[in-house]
Structure 1
């Protein structure tokens, strides 16, 4: 049997994202409607919480921003260990909606925590790629991502599907401003990003020389910074860390210098100018930086879009960057050392 080239699986699954996102975009209104119907008669949620690990936790971060921007109701990220490792019985969740995220739907602590929170009065909405999974069965309502099988260890198409799925669910929870527009153009924009690899390859050449780096963004792009850092960590083994631009200025910027560059993600939203201003600050520290964004002057670009769509496109750029750095280093990202596709934390 012919041996596959390094990154074959990851690259192929990344290439499926326009089709996956298009299928989900056509279901967006239906998903929002199902959520709206399921919550009818319960009134405004007392709060919305997210239950997740890994890449799903980064997707949940976008959900947190989306809930706060669209509804204004309290929101939080639940610490599963409080319920599992520490054995704390959850209380006070009557009237709350909990979004439980797991690409496989098989992570034991997410399933267990969802069951406990449901018994505590929460309405559980599962977002998973497997409609027949244990997590889907443990929920009041399940949203299937329909992304197809994912075999590479780094999650790609399931992550961007989660991001869009979360936005669809949040659209059904509140009645505030819509956070994703021009859904009919999303697949084309994703395809445009995937087709453009030259600028990413150039950036990867510089980043491959370093084992420490920061990935920085703010607001709706912060989840993409966290996810890009995770992709670089798990595929290349680099000490990559994702930061909010605001938090980065409060101290972590000190890690950047001649031996530690930064990747800055900046779209066209109200928080993105602050991120671009870091270029000059980092230059004063002797640190290289790469700006990936939607401005014409950005070295690594994606198409101009709204803030929530920016997050999806930036996440794809982050996947490309991780894959390109792996190729520079001769690493196979499909099978990172010591990692499994499904991490069965309890």
Structure 2
């Protein structure tokens, strides 16, 4: 009998090498974008769907936190269904993310933004894709074909590539040493699967979960919730820790498990405090993070922590899927490319 999630597991295991390759290209991506005038752009506009949108959260937060760059989310239907013009973004950098590079609404709106004068950077895994063709600067992930329906290696690669893009806008740089260590740290996380296997077994019977994070780890919470939805069929929802306190915290008191993601950034203590308070109150709350946690994360820059936390979320989705007898490689009702227009 074929092991459930064999393809997903294999592609997860390719992440250390994939991240190391992008880390090696990181400075080259920054310099190419600066040659295209990225530093002179007035803001960052993000264009993405699904897992790509969750990956873009890292770039969006980094642009605001590190260089003070204004960030806007391009809502495709405003331009495709309502006929609005993207002319207001003429002086902006538009970051378009699509793993396949073939989602029609992403490609069409990226092309319209470029025509309006925006600097369009397309992050995709396919250098021959329509998105790459309409971009001023295509950033090709080069992580190899992803066959499992749930995106894994392409998501973490997009997160790191997106960080390179927004570094070109200005602000502090990530140290070369920490970039160089990322591949080995991803291997460390993947080799430590027992804690996530145990957590998956503990949570497999629950049909709903809340995943929370703040700062950069917000992206890991949202992406992990999506992975649980599409692989294990869990009604999982991602929240900013701050937003969770504003009402949804009642879910924990109604018996819904809460999973927190926290690294070493200044916003992460809020998540630790929330998980600690819920546990003290007898609620089912677990922490994935650096330091004292139910599942650990290696210490690094906050920007890079969320990549490692996202791998933890993939492990959790795989473990719960297997515990529930579901093959996450081919989730019912889903395909690899979703052709929204």
Which interval holds the TM-score relative to the shorter structure? Answer: over 0.9
1:245 deviation in Å?
A: 0.6
Please state how far the C-alpha of 1:71 moved relative to its aligned partner: 1.8
CA distance in 1, matches of 2:269, 2:66: 22
Q: CA deviation at 1:73?
A: 1.9
Q: Secondary structure of the residue that 2:139 maps to in structure 1?
A: strand
Count of aligned pairs: 340
**C-alpha spacing 1:285/1:343, structure 2 compared with 1 (3 Å):** farther
Shift in Å, 1:103: 0.3
Q: How does 1:241-320 map to 2 (within 5 A)?
A: 241-257=237-253, 259-283=255-279, 286-295=282-291, 297-320=292-315
Unaligned 5+ segments in structure 2 are none
* Aligned twin of 2:207: 211
3-state SS in 2 of match to 1:243: strand
Counterpart-to-counterpart distance in 1, 2:119 and 2:264: 35
Taking the TM superposition and a 5 Å limit, the aligned residue runs for 1:228-243 are 228-243=224-239
Partner residue, 2:173: 178
1:230 offset after TM fit, Å? 0.4
Q: Determine the structure 2 residue equivalent to 1:63.
A: 59
Q: 1:17 aligns with which of 15, 18, 33?
A: 15
Contact 1:63 1:170 in 2 (8 A): yes
Moved over 4 A (4+): none
Counterpart of 1:332 in structure 2 is 327
TM-score, normalised via structure 2 length = 0.97
Q: Secondary structure at the match of 1:183?
A: helix
- Distance in 2 (alpha carbons) for counterparts of 1:180 and 1:83: 39
Contact kept, 8 Å, 2:12 with 2:153, in 1: the verdict is: yes
Contact persistence 2:58–2:216 (CA under 8 A): yes
Contact 1:218 1:244 in 2 (8 A): yes
Per-residue CA deviation, residues 128-151 of structure 1 (Å, 9 max, x unaligned), is 000110000011110000110000
Deviation string, structure 1 residues 234-259 (Cα, Å, up to 9, x no partner): 00111100000111111111122353
- Tell me what 2:97 maps to: 101
TM-score normalised by L of structure 1: 0.95
| C-alpha RMSD of the superposition | 1.3
Q: The residue matched to 2:45 in structure 1 has which SS?
A: strand
Which digits, 9 at most, give the CA deviation of each residue in 1:83-110, with x for residues without a partner? 1122222221221110010000000000
Q: In 2, Cα distance between the equivalents of 1:179 and 1:272?
A: 19
